[in-house]
Structure 1
Amino acid sequence: MLEEMLQQAQDVQKKIKQIQEELDDTEVIGEAGAGAVRVTMDAKGLIKSIKIDKESFATEKIEVLEDLIVAAIQDAKKKSDNAFTEKITEIGLPPDLLKNMFQ
């Protein structure tokens, strides 16, 4: 019985390590302004890059650009959270339980 429980714990630990590796490789792209601003983020919520379509903005529209960057980050974060939740629920554990382990 104890040996069985230890084996199950080891299996979960292996799955968590595998998911951590998958999350490192999973990227999502948040967009705002019909693609004028794009934010690439990993499934852990770390921003990898911000791309701005330079032809979409004149210097006088910088406030609009700033708002779109925030919107694109929020979109990417939402997608990142969804990717994380999807991976964690695959092993049958509640995402809230493990979220802090992966950040």
Structure 2
Amino acid sequence: MIPGGGNMQQIMKQVQKMQKNVAKAQEEIAKMTVEGTAGGGTVKVVVTGDRRVTAVTLAPEVVDPEDIEMLQDLIVAAISDGMKKAEELAEAEMKKVLPGGLPSFPGLF
């Protein structure tokens, strides 16, 4: 018989439950969206919680054939803003599932 075997089973059940909760949270996060913007809202991107860009919207006044570099910079800035917001969203949602971070199991980890 393994000493503390009952405890180990309890810990394994907790770990499995935690894994299930994390997987469910990740699925929900992937469905969520945030909007990144640049140029005072003239460039907008939609980013999912799992950091996929799903849409880019450009205001007509930001499209200047004489200044393509500015438009490129604004698109990059809007994507960066969206990615940052998506990361913050994912972190906030995961904290709901793991409020104290990963639990510690003395003597195990």
TM range (shorter): 0.7 to 0.9
State the partner residue of 2:18: 12
State the partner residue of 1:101: none
The aligned length equals: 94
Query: SS in structure 1 opposite 2:41?
Result: coil
Query: SS in structure 2 opposite 1:10?
Result: helix
Matched, 1:54 2:64: no
Instruction: Name structure 2 gaps, 5 residues minimum.
Output: 1-6, 103-109
Q: Distance in 1 between matches of 2:80 and 2:29?
A: 18
Task: Give runs of ≥4 in structure 1 deviating > 3 Å.
Answer: none
Deviation at 1:59, TM superposition (A): 1.5
Q: Distance in 1 between matches of 2:23 and 2:81?
A: 27
In the superposition, the TM-score normalised over structure 2's length comes to 0.78
Superposition CA RMSD, Å: 1.4
From the CA coordinates, give the structure whose radius of gyration is larger.
2
Report if the CA contact (8 A) 2:25-2:97 is conserved: no
Equivalent residue letter for 1:73: I
Quick check: which one's helix share is greater? 1
After TM superposition, the structure 1 = structure 2 runs for residues 1-103 of structure 1, keeping only pairs within 5 Å, are 1-92=7-98, 93=101
Q: Distance in 2 between matches of 1:57 and 1:25?
A: 30
Instruction: Name structure 1 gaps, 5 residues minimum.
Output: 95-103
Report if the CA contact (8 A) 2:62-2:71 is conserved: no
Question: What's the % identity of the aligned pairs?
Answer: 31
In the superposition, the TM-score normalised over structure 1's length comes to 0.82
Equivalent residue letter for 2:57: K
Deviations 1:29-59 (A, max 9, x none): 1000111111111112111111111233221
